[in-house]
A and B are shown apart, each in its own frame.
Chain A
């Protein structure tokens, strides 16, 4: 009986405030009433002491709600009776504890559970070695001096196996690295120390120092004081060191067959513990990817963002358009409560048996209940198709479709994209300042951010996504089977009983999308129901026209007949320029083109605009477009025209629709200046304008319709639940097909009407 195994026992836990630690503390307090005492070594944070962290951050966590409920007023008492918080840090000598505390620990502790680690895949080498290796060794050395020669439980990870393919047994590491290189752990740690020093020294080389100086002065410009510059130089130097250390750490890790510096240093820790443990009985517990709980403390409990979650969120937010993994490889998830229960069972066994030989347990699912990336992706996609995330405007974000083209191709493509963006960035930097520059920069910045994030995910998680190893969990299963029936129900950890689809879709995904702090990304907004709108683009969608030919018509009307041919001839020459500009940026094109209206009188423009309605627009109006628009109106929808065209040419439509959002020209001294007042209504600006309009008018965009023809309207179409690509250009047609949107061609005489299959 596990309860009995802990009778009168005392446990020291590090990493108690972490994800696994919190779950472990909760379970121990709830299900191990005979436990004598639990010492928690807690590191003070920048603004909170250890006690405060424990009381506020940990006990305040939803993990403890269940226990609070069960114990009622007895909760505080139970905590006070069982838990003792020690402010300290495994990185410092003697854990940073006083002699009294150390003496108490020496007297009392039966088992040390070392769960503190730096789970940062791209940590700089020095930080990773410090926390994962040196901290562990310091704790181990201390424990070795304690009276009870306590059981040392080292929480590691299954991924210490590195990139080694095949079945990974629950065994201590041999003398070789995953790719078969002979490894001297102690020597290796020393070597890494050398690398750190080397980088540090390199950063102080004169050439580099000059470079930092130049950059700092360029950044601070003429305003920088010498001290400021010096400060900035130091910052730049440290950043450089950090970057180099990340690189060097991962370089060395890969050289030896590990994925990254995290698994490399975790493995080094295991190896060093084995070397240094002396007489202490040792258990190494290696969980795979710990994710939200199946049942305890409550289903879906999770803390922080776990390993798979950033990828899931990036996918759901449409950032990760392709996954750099092998769809058939195993994604080895284990729910946190399984890890906790396995750990409690293993420690219980260790306390009673005190094994002479180190025992290794792998809490993993790959062997007994594997879930592959393809299934994982399908379950996740299915979930987000039904429950899309929303952006700040409340618009549902469409989920990408992954084709799994392979790690190399994804990275290759992303790298090529970044190179192109880099070149584009250099080119734009040389351009004279202006709207096009700002425009291009914004675009490039967004594309670059997306590509960089994707590449980051690809680099960090890529190797995890194409693992060819399977983690054996035979020992853990054996441990489970050794438990009496009663314990099995209180401390379940049979991974074969987990239904991955149900766990993902009903527990895990709702949990990570509903996490506090993710309010903006709530899955379903339950606000008062907004109005349904039908948003129409005008040029090309409602009317077979564009701003250039419309302007030409107006201008011809405005000119005396005799001057028209000459003007037309000169205007035609400029059309290719406008065309090219529009290809680069609709926004910039609008700004440039509308300068043609400079000097026009608003009244004359309005009169001509009205005249053009019958003389020009009506003849080019698509009957199906009008029928669709009217059908929306009859259905009680709010019909909105959202156009980059100017107000005076769109004004005639005002009676037909509920709202008109158009561009306007600035007036000065009774004439147009040719400058737009406000931003051009194109691309992202159009979507933003729609989003803010929808907020003001309480429109429910998820139930709304949008009709547009151009790729520049994509953001606007993406903003609504029912986008329709009308007479789409090639790029929009492709995008629409990819997204499964409806496509209508109103240019055809026999185009399907609004009543054929709904709107």
Chain B
């Protein structure tokens, strides 16, 4: 049994706190009385993932065992999560490889020949050959790539088909290959509660014409929270689509969860509370801190991006989407949930170097916004950790840097759209169309490894609920230009930021430091 998450109140002689700050760190002593919430330790891994997978396939939830669904001459499509999870990438073999190898074994045994594997990237960037090999292993790649193992293409007019419409008038359009299959097996890695379930198909192998019904400024403003599906308008829409899908298509869902063993030994200070640091841990941290602050950012980024996580599989469940996902959420909560008493005026967050959209890439200002207001803010169940009108203080340099290969439309979004409005609704109304249908963005999405031209709109919208909720956002160490463009404040130190926050929340605010990563969720009572 792992250590549960816990809360401590800082005292006068408490050690300084380390913060993640993008491709580096921040280290500062916080005021007495600051509440610090630490994540739970990694939960125990499955003793033998292969056995667990075998069992899940033999005894699925709400559906026949997989082998009974397989027959010769059938059309089988295996869909799997893309490069956006897990974070950081896990040490092979990846959950997807383990699961898919088992599924294929059964399919071969039943004489199934028409098998396609599709990376469910939705409007994310295409996975590279190397990334696919990392996630699936040599064996699968050798047998299927590139003819029968490929990236989903939302912009392929011929490759997508409408299968129906929800009672809210939402068009359900998905990959034609999947729609025409006798069976779709969806293989998930569920890192956070937001993902998995019906969201998988309806974002992973759906084009914009379908995604727009749940990924828009209106829905995302009413998504409280993203990580809490019952209280998420996004998940409401996705579940309606799921009903249409289930009526038309047999989907055998396999979801897996991981523990939060995120960092290898050299970075063990990240997962260990400061008061438990010994001199070696501290020296290690300071050495890393010093080194990353002195070296060019691109070099630091390379080091961080090379981190491979020692994640371990903690559960695997298979069968019908809904019962499977309910079970998955239980396992996720077991790893992630920390009970916390009461909200806070000010929430302090360290911003990690990696998010779902910058694997092997740069976390540009919009992705920083997305990380803080979209992801970290939403890591709650019940009510937000920071009170309405409260302030978030996040440590990140927010450099004015963009990866023009992976995120070609982000810089134009930052320069063109944000210079005129930071309101997600207005941005959507005035600019979205141009970005969606831009032929160059489409070209890069389909043929290079670029996020869809529309993607910055959605990453900006992820913050819609937080923008409504919060009084202010202050970036410690943030670039004055980028933070101002996004409508945020900046400070050099957390102390200075706390000073600035008082203009919004009044003197002597309650302060909480949510000590991430690894990621966890707060159930606030």
Considering only CB atoms, which chain A residue lies closest to B155 in the complex? A655
Q: Is B440 a contact partner of A630 (Cβ separation < 8 A)?
A: yes
Q: Is A655 a contact partner of B448 (Cβ separation < 8 A)?
A: no
B495 at the interface (CB under 8 A from A): no
B449 at the interface (CB under 8 A from A): yes
Which of A611, A626, A651, A656 lies in contact with B129, CB distance below 8 A?
Answer: A611
Considering only CB atoms, which chain B residue lies closest to A603 in the complex? B147
Which of A604, A613, A630, A657 lies in contact with B447, CB distance below 8 A?
Answer: A613
A653 at the interface (CB under 8 A from B): yes
Considering only CB atoms, which chain A residue lies closest to B147 in the complex? A603
Q: How far is the CA of A630 from the CA of B446 in the complex (A)?
A: 17
Which of B439, B440, B447 lies in contact with A610, CB distance below 8 A?
Answer: B447
Q: How far is the CA of A46 from the CA of B155 in the complex (A)?
A: 69
Cβ contacts A96-109/B at 8 Å (1 or 0 each): 00000000000000
Residues in B whose Cβ lies below 8 Å from that of A626:
440
Q: How far is the CA of A611 from the CA of B151 in the complex (A)?
A: 12
Residues in A whose Cβ lies below 8 Å from that of B155:
655
Q: How far is the CA of A478 from the CA of B442 in the complex (A)?
A: 82
A239 at the interface (CB under 8 A from B): no
Q: Is A633 a contact partner of B439 (Cβ separation < 8 A)?
A: yes
Q: Is B448 a contact partner of A656 (Cβ separation < 8 A)?
A: no
Q: Is A655 a contact partner of B442 (Cβ separation < 8 A)?
A: yes
Q: Is A614 a contact partner of B447 (Cβ separation < 8 A)?
A: yes
Q: Is A656 a contact partner of B443 (Cβ separation < 8 A)?
A: yes
B405 at the interface (CB under 8 A from A): yes
Which of B147, B405, B439 lies in contact with A614, CB distance below 8 A?
Answer: B405
Cβ contacts A285-329/B at 8 Å (1 or 0 each): 000000000000000000000000000000000000000000000
Q: Is B448 a contact partner of A613 (Cβ separation < 8 A)?
A: yes
Residues in A whose Cβ lies below 8 Å from that of B439:
630, 633, 655-657
Considering only CB atoms, which chain B residue lies closest to A626 in the complex? B440
Residues in B whose Cβ lies below 8 Å from that of A611:
129
Cβ contacts B445-462/A at 8 Å (1 or 0 each): 011110000000000000
Asked, given contacts A604-B146, A614-B448, A618-B448, whether A655 binds B129 with beta carbons under 8 Å apart, the answer is no
Residues in B whose Cβ lies below 8 Å from that of A657:
439
Which of B129, B146, B147, B443 lies in contact with A653, CB distance below 8 A?
Answer: B443
Considering only CB atoms, which chain A residue lies closest to B151 in the complex? A610
Considering only CB atoms, which chain B residue lies closest to A614 in the complex? B448
Q: How far is the CA of A603 from the CA of B146 in the complex (A)?
A: 7
Min CB gap A562→B, angstroms: 16
Residues in B whose Cβ lies below 8 Å from that of A652:
443, 446-448
Q: Is A614 a contact partner of B443 (Cβ separation < 8 A)?
A: no
Chain A interface main SS type: helix
Considering only CB atoms, which chain B residue lies closest to A557 in the complex? B129
Residues in B whose Cβ lies below 8 Å from that of A604:
146
Q: Give the contacts of A572-617 with B (CB-CB under 8 A).
A: 603-604, 606-607, 610-611, 613-614
Q: How far is the CA of A633 from the CA of B221 in the complex (A)?
A: 36
Most A Cβ at <10 Å: residue of B146, B155, B405, B449: B146
Cβ contacts A674-690/B at 8 Å (1 or 0 each): 00000000000000000
Min CB gap B416→A, angstroms: 14
Min CB gap B437→A, angstroms: 10
Q: Give the contacts of A602-644 with B (CB-CB under 8 A).
A: 603-604, 606-607, 610-611, 613-614, 618, 626, 630, 633
Q: How far is the CA of A606 from the CA of B129 in the complex (A)?
A: 14
Cβ contacts A698-728/B at 8 Å (1 or 0 each): 0000000000000000000000000000000
Q: Give the contacts of B135-164 with A (CB-CB under 8 A).
A: 145-147, 155
Most A Cβ at <10 Å: residue of B129, B439, B447: B447
Residues in B whose Cβ lies below 8 Å from that of A603:
146-147
Q: How far is the CA of A204 from the CA of B52 in the complex (A)?
A: 106
Q: How far is the CA of A604 from the CA of B448 in the complex (A)?
A: 16
Residues in B whose Cβ lies below 8 Å from that of A613:
447-448
Residues in B whose Cβ lies below 8 Å from that of A633:
439
Considering only CB atoms, which chain A residue lies closest to B148 in the complex? A603
Q: How far is the CA of A426 from the CA of B439 in the complex (A)?
A: 52
Considering only CB atoms, which chain B residue lies closest to A607 in the complex? B146
Q: How far is the CA of A652 from the CA of B444 in the complex (A)?
A: 8
Q: Give the contacts of B325-346 with A (CB-CB under 8 A).
A: none
Q: Is B405 a contact partner of A655 (Cβ separation < 8 A)?
A: no
Q: How far is the CA of A611 from the CA of B128 in the complex (A)?
A: 8
Cβ contacts B396-414/A at 8 Å (1 or 0 each): 0000000001000000000
Min CB gap A656→B, angstroms: 4
Min CB gap A267→B, angstroms: 73
Q: How far is the CA of A656 from the CA of B446 in the complex (A)?
A: 11
Q: How far is the CA of A71 from the CA of B405 in the complex (A)?
A: 80
Considering only CB atoms, which chain B residue lies closest to A657 in the complex? B439
Residues in B whose Cβ lies below 8 Å from that of A606:
146
Min CB gap A615→B, angstroms: 9
Q: How far is the CA of A263 from the CA of B396 in the complex (A)?
A: 96
Residues in A whose Cβ lies below 8 Å from that of B129:
611
Asked, given contacts A613-B448, A614-B449, whether A655 binds B146 with beta carbons under 8 Å apart, the answer is no
Residues in B whose Cβ lies below 8 Å from that of A651:
447
Min CB gap A554→B, angstroms: 13
Q: Is A618 a contact partner of B146 (Cβ separation < 8 A)?
A: no
Residues in A whose Cβ lies below 8 Å from that of B405:
614, 618
Asked, given contacts A610-B447, A611-B129, whether A656 binds B440 with beta carbons under 8 Å apart, the answer is yes
Min CB gap A298→B, angstroms: 55
Min CB gap A559→B, angstroms: 14
Cβ contacts A439-477/B at 8 Å (1 or 0 each): 000000000000000000000000000000000000000
Min CB gap A21→B, angstroms: 65
Residues in B whose Cβ lies below 8 Å from that of A655:
155, 439, 442-443, 446-447
Q: How far is the CA of A606 from the CA of B405 in the complex (A)?
A: 21
Min CB gap B155→A, angstroms: 7
Residues in A whose Cβ lies below 8 Å from that of B147:
603, 607
Min CB gap B66→A, angstroms: 29
Min CB gap B40→A, angstroms: 40
Residues in A whose Cβ lies below 8 Å from that of B444:
618
Cβ contacts B430-441/A at 8 Å (1 or 0 each): 000000000110
Min CB gap A527→B, angstroms: 29
Min CB gap A605→B, angstroms: 10
Q: How far is the CA of A618 from the CA of B125 in the complex (A)?
A: 15
Residues in A whose Cβ lies below 8 Å from that of B443:
652-656
Q: How far is the CA of A652 from the CA of B445 in the complex (A)?
A: 10
Q: How far is the CA of A124 from the CA of B315 in the complex (A)?
A: 103
Min CB gap B402→A, angstroms: 14
Min CB gap A338→B, angstroms: 63
Min CB gap A601→B, angstroms: 9
Considering only CB atoms, which chain B residue lies closest to A609 in the complex? B447
Q: How far is the CA of A195 from the CA of B241 in the complex (A)?
A: 101
Residues in A whose Cβ lies below 8 Å from that of B447:
610, 613-614, 651-653, 655
Q: How far is the CA of A653 from the CA of B444 in the complex (A)?
A: 9
Min CB gap A504→B, angstroms: 49
Cβ contacts A638-678/B at 8 Å (1 or 0 each): 00000000000001111111000000000000000000000
Q: Give the contacts of B217-239 with A (CB-CB under 8 A).
A: none
Q: Which residues of A contact B (CB under 8 A)?
A: 603-604, 606-607, 610-611, 613-614, 618, 626, 630, 633, 651-657
Pick the 6 closest A-B CB pairs, nearest first.
Answer: A652-B447, A607-B146, A614-B448, A656-B443, A655-B443, A613-B447
User: What would 15 more interface pairs be, CB under 8 Å, given A618-B405, A656-B439?
Assistant: A603-B147, A607-B146, A607-B147, A613-B448, A614-B447, A614-B449, A618-B444, A626-B440, A633-B439, A653-B443, A655-B439, A655-B442, A655-B447, A656-B442, A656-B443
Chain A to chain B contacts (Cβ below 8 Å), 19 pairs: A603-B146, A604-B146, A607-B146, A610-B447, A618-B405, A618-B444, A618-B448, A630-B439, A633-B439, A652-B443, A652-B447, A652-B448, A653-B443, A654-B443, A655-B155, A655-B439, A655-B447, A656-B439, A657-B439
